[in-house]
Amino acid sequence: MKPSTLVVLRWELRKLVSQKRTYLGFALAVALPVIFVIVEGLRHRHDRGGDSIFASEITQSGLATPVLMLLFLSAFMLPLIASLVAGDIVANEDGNGTLKTILTRSVDRGQVFAAKAIAAMIYATIAVFLSAAVATAAGVASWGFHSIRTLSGTVVLAPKGLLLVFAANLTYLIPLLTVVAIGVLLSTATRNSAAAVVGTIGLVIMLYIVSTIPGLEGIHPYLLTQQFQAWQGLMRTPTDWAPITHSAWVCALYAGPSLLAAYLVFLRRDVAGG
């Protein structure tokens, strides 16, 4: 009897829960906001103000903390955390030989692939919201649940500010899940966890470098790394949807082919490892 893909997904998640590596990413996602709040708390005793509007607002409302953390972590740390699992999720099983173990049961390859890709995406999603939740809790505990000033200078009430924090993180998932899709492709194609993790994060770094090369300004709007800041459109009044919709289709252009290629490679590959 063939199990549903949901059953396969549940076991993929259980495998993630059973591995120490899973908690390394979560630890980073939790530790950084806590460290930030402690350091900012100490710093603001001596020196008020900062570079961005949120930095100057940091002690005015605890809700500025998750926004500032998203600004910092979205560029590199969260893609790194996401690629830790995405780059490993197929290659690790290939290297350990467990891929052949599960592919000789009653599940189709497509089900296994779907479960793995979705599990990696769930992991990235949890990392983002875990980081946001800790940053919000730490920020509110330190500086209170007060109204917050948006990028356009409008002050919004705390409940709406909280909603914006949630929506910003949700929007950030668009490019982050694209990073996951690329990680899964490299994991499937290289059959090597280290190569896939390094390759994924290396691609992100490369795109940042490309964005600094003079004369290539024309391609900036289409670089994946540019989409990491699209959520900031939500932090304006009225909401600027343009960067968000742009991010959505640009990311689809990266993620769609990556997932399709990964799926086809997974479906047709010879499983000879382990």
Partner 1 sequence: MGAEEAPPVKARGLVKRYDEVLAVDHIDLNVRAGDVYGFLGPNGAGKTTTLRMALGLITPTEGVVELFGRDPMRHGARALEGVAGFVEAPRFYPYMSARKNLELLAALDGRDAKQLIGEVLDTVELTPRAAHRVGGFSHGMRQRLGIAAALLRRPRLLILDEPATGLDPAGMRDMRLLIRRLADDGITVLLSSHQLPEVQELCDRVAIVQTGRVVYEGALADLRRQGGASYRLATTDDARALELARAQSGVEHASIGEHGLTFEAQESDVGRLSLALGQAGVAILALTPELATLEDLFFRLTEGDPLALAA
The token pair at 208 is 């940042």
Pairwise CA distance, residues 251 & 259, whole Å = 12
Of 40-48, 168-176, 246-254, 265-273, the segment contacting partner 1 by CB under 8 A is 265-273
Nearer to partner 1 (CB atom), residue 49 or residue 97:
97
Tell whether residue 8 is a contact of partner 1 (CB under 8 A).
Answer: yes
Q: Is 26 in the site for partner 1 (CB under 8 A)?
A: no
29 SS3 class = helix
Shortest Å distance, C-beta 7 to partner 1: 5
Residue 18 neighbours by CB under 8 Å, 6+ apart: none
Report residue 195 as tokens: 């190569």
Closest CB to partner 1 among residues 52, 96: 96
- Give the nearest distance from C-beta 113 to partner 1 in angstroms: 13
Instruction: For the CB of residue 23, give the shortest distance to partner 1 in the complex, in Å.
Output: 12
Beta strands of the chain (E only): which ranges?
A: 148-149, 155-156
Q: Rounded to 5 degrees, what angle do the CA atoms 176, 178, 180 make? A: 75
Give me the DSSP letters along 52-107.
SHHHHHTTT-TTHHHHHHHHHHTTTHHHHHHHHHHTTTTHHHHHHTHHHHHHTSS-
Residue 148 pairs in a beta bridge with 156
24: contact with partner 1 by CB under 8 A: no
Q: Which of 24, 141, 206, 272 binds partner 1 (CB under 8 A)?
A: 272
Half-sphere exposure of 160 (CA within 13 A, CB side): 13
23 lies in the site for partner 1, by CB under 8 A: no
Q: How many residues interact with partner 1 (rule CB under 8 A)?
A: 30
214 phi and psi angles, rounded to 5 deg? -65, 145
- Is 19 an interacting residue with respect to partner 1 (CB under 8 A)? yes
If one asks whether residue 241 binds partner 1 (CB under 8 A), the answer comes out as no
Select 100 or 146, whichever has its Cβ closest to partner 1: 100
Binding positions for partner 1, 76-135, rule CB under 8 A: 96-98, 100-109
- When the beta carbons of 14 and 160 are compared against partner 1, the nearer one is 14
Site for partner 1 contains 11 (CB under 8 A): yes
Nearer to partner 1, 19 or 152 (CB): 19
CA 243 – CA 258 distance, rounded (Å):
22
Site of interaction with partner 1 (CB under 8 A): 1-3, 7-8, 10-11, 14-15, 18-20, 96-98, 100-109, 268, 270-272, 274
